[in-house]
Structure 1
């Protein structure tokens, strides 16, 4: 297995994790990479909305694979042409938005080993350079698995005491799992804070490097997760921050 697993995580919801994962996947594909982004947040899926798939019926989802009704490669939606990506390939592996599927996965669970096998099989089956995993917030089975198998873990946090305390817990677990590369992404930074001060405090406190600091941007508020910002606005400040993250993955 030559492809890299990139886990995008946050301890709490609302950090902008899914938006970062979607844009990171799109930008990697633009550079000619073969990329899949997988939504493992089966309790509250949503990354497909950012790719413009909010109202479309999907033949197979990650839920179907975990129930054993299809192969993991059957769940891959090829978004390359839809998003006008010319060099690379971009696949989306969505989770089901159907209430029955969500309640079923919460009630019955699934074999974690099947999800791990799915990671390996989709990288091999689609010849991926990157598998980007959009995790469920907090520390649950999916998150622990995505961390344990990840080459890179990016923990997204806001300048918020609850976020930062949760980030500390996440980093502690990640180190026990021996994740090779761990970085912190500070998102939605209020303008009253200076980047240098944040980097100094965060890196000293958490003993992990800051990948980038994304300010609270009016553009993202306006967009509201309706599309992939880095594709629509390649010169935007947000896109430059996503590029910073992508540079670390190389």
Structure 2
């Protein structure tokens, strides 16, 4: 059975979408079939990382949530060449960037419970090994229901006091929801910081495994979310950290 990996952060601006795209791609490069689902319906954007500057609103997650089509019908094959060469595949289910669609979602909301059924059908139709869910930051009803669907929750935070406080609340809620596996990734850490010390401090604070400490780097800033970082900089130290986190995820599979 495929793993559903939810990537979430308490605040925006943590690099959640970039982390999701890089982890999904790293696992796909190991020969796995991976789907990325953008449930950040209020402010979608991960499609840009996969080269989809324009998304047809009729081929998005919104259409599934409104009952217009099955989820697999709006899954786009965005596999980079290096992924195809390794026998893997990446599919993307984007959310609509159309202003009218976003306004409708904000006004009407949506039934997150449909995602559980949709994920099951998507896994079967595309023979998936993993689904990565890129969420809207913060805590609301939709987020809590999404967390409840996940096998693995990856919490992204920055070394920032506001992030620390909000993340504590989020981890506590995830534990109460009995998420089978909770992992943590710290992003945008100063390059002169000691990664092991950062890891130890946060593991002690949250009692959750910290599986990645991602250094802040100029190359990521220069890329400006125009591509998947690990594909552009395959030998970069940051790419190596993404690879280690991806390998950890593959060894963190939850018994079905």
Question: TM-score, normalization: structure 2?
Answer: 0.93
Question: Contact conserved, 1:116 with 1:145, CA < 8 A, in 2?
Answer: no
Q: Could you tell me which residue of structure 1 aligns to residue 13 of structure 2?
A: 14
Per mean C-alpha deviation after superposition, the further-off stretch among 81-90 and 119-128 is 81-90
Q: Which range is displaced more, 145-154 or 122-131?
A: 145-154
Residues 108-154 of structure 1, C-alpha deviation per residue, up to 9 Å, x if partnerless? 11222212211211112111100000011011233222321212111
Q: How does 1:24-103 map to 2 (within 5 A)?
A: 24-57=23-56, 59-80=58-79, 85-86=84-85, 87-103=87-103
Give 1:146's aligned residue.
146
Contact 2:157–2:186 (Cα < 8 Å) also in 1:
yes
Counterparts of 2:143 and 2:81, CA distance in 1:
30
Partner of 2:111: 111
| Inter-CA distance 203–169: structure 2 relative to 1 (3 Å threshold) | same
Q: Is contact 2:57-2:97 (8 Å) kept?
A: no
**2:158 paired residue number:** 158
Partner of 2:131: 131
| Cα deviations by residue, 1:4-52 (Å, 9 ceiling, x for unpaired) | 0001110000000000101111111111100000000000000001111
Distance in 1 separating the partners of 2:138 and 2:108:
20
Query: TM-score scaled by structure 1?
Result: 0.95
Cα-to-partner distance string for 1:175-205 (whole Å, 9 max, x where unaligned): 0011111111000002343223212211111
User: Do residues 217 (structure 1) and 213 (structure 2) align?
Assistant: no
Partner of 1:4: 3
Match of 2:188 in 1: 188
Extract structure 1 runs of 4+ deviating beyond 4 A: 81-84
SS in 1 for 2:59: coil
Q: Is this contact kept in 1: 2:59–2:74, CA < 8 A?
A: yes
Counting matched residue pairs gives 249
Unaligned segments of structure 2, at least 5 residues:
251-256
Q: 2:253 aligns to what?
A: none
Do the aligned residues in 2 keep the contact of 1:24 with 1:242 (CA within 8 Å)?
A: yes
Separation in structure 1 between the aligned mates of residue 182 and residue 231 of structure 2, nearest angstrom: 26
Distance 1:68 1:145, change over 3 A: same
Q: Distance in 2 between matches of 1:118 and 1:208?
A: 29
Structure 1: state its 5+ residue gaps.
none
State the alpha-carbon separation in 1 of the partners of residues 196 and 189 from structure 2: 12
Q: In angstroms, what is the RMSD of aligned CA positions?
A: 1.5
